[in-house]
Amino acid sequence: MPELAALQDSLGVSFRDPRLLRQALVHGSYVNEHAEEDSAGNERLEFLGDALLDFVVAEELYRCLPESNEGDLTALRANLVCGPTLARVAASLNLGEYLLLGRGEEAGGGRSRLSNLASALEAVLGAVLLDQGYDVARRAILNIMGPDIQTVVADGVQKDPKSLLQELVQTQGGPPPVYQVVRSAGPEHRPAFEVEVHVGDVVVGRGAGPRKADAEREAAGDALRRLQQRD
């Protein structure tokens, strides 16, 4: 595990208790294989960070978009606080390098797994909240997610891939797209889903993600790219 100073610099936070930051990086598979350390995993911190992210992003969107209604604000928040976006932000912090993983998870590519990265980011932010308080945690979130928030604010509400796919299929006279989970893996608190989207009997797209909604969105995007290339 690399020294945590670089990660703290990226976050703009100097932890009073570095043990909290370390705990935020402990995957459940590591706990299972190192019972002698009496180490807790990052699930509780992930829960806290998830709630914190929802609130901070909602507050920032509310402030930046005074004319937007509740439905639009909800849609914009969902575009920001979702598995793919959080995993990308985590990757920009090189968070995968810091994860403490079990041997099997390590061998299976756990350091780059989207669900692990997204969960670790939430856990790290939960750790910042406990160690530094709300104001510092809010600044950290706006520091690492500021460009994404600014992009969403500038672009406004855009239709999600599932809506766009349904409209495209309708214009072509086809039946509504149907999403099917073809594989789910991982423990209950850290699932990974693979989804196919069908139009009639044809598989038109595939996607994967830490949530079914994320996997369906990826599958719809894949289908749009394929159908547009075909046209």
Provide the annotated active-site residues: 50, 122
Q: How far apart are the first and last CA of the chain?
A: 49
SS3 for 113?
coil
Which strands sit side by side in the sheet containing 178-185, from one edge to the other?
178-185, 192-199, 202-209
To 5 degrees, how large is the angle CA 226–CA 89–CA 14?
Answer: 175
Best CA proximity match to 95, nearest among 29, 31, 7:
7
What DSSP assignment string belongs to 153-171?
A: HHH-----HHHHHHHHHHH
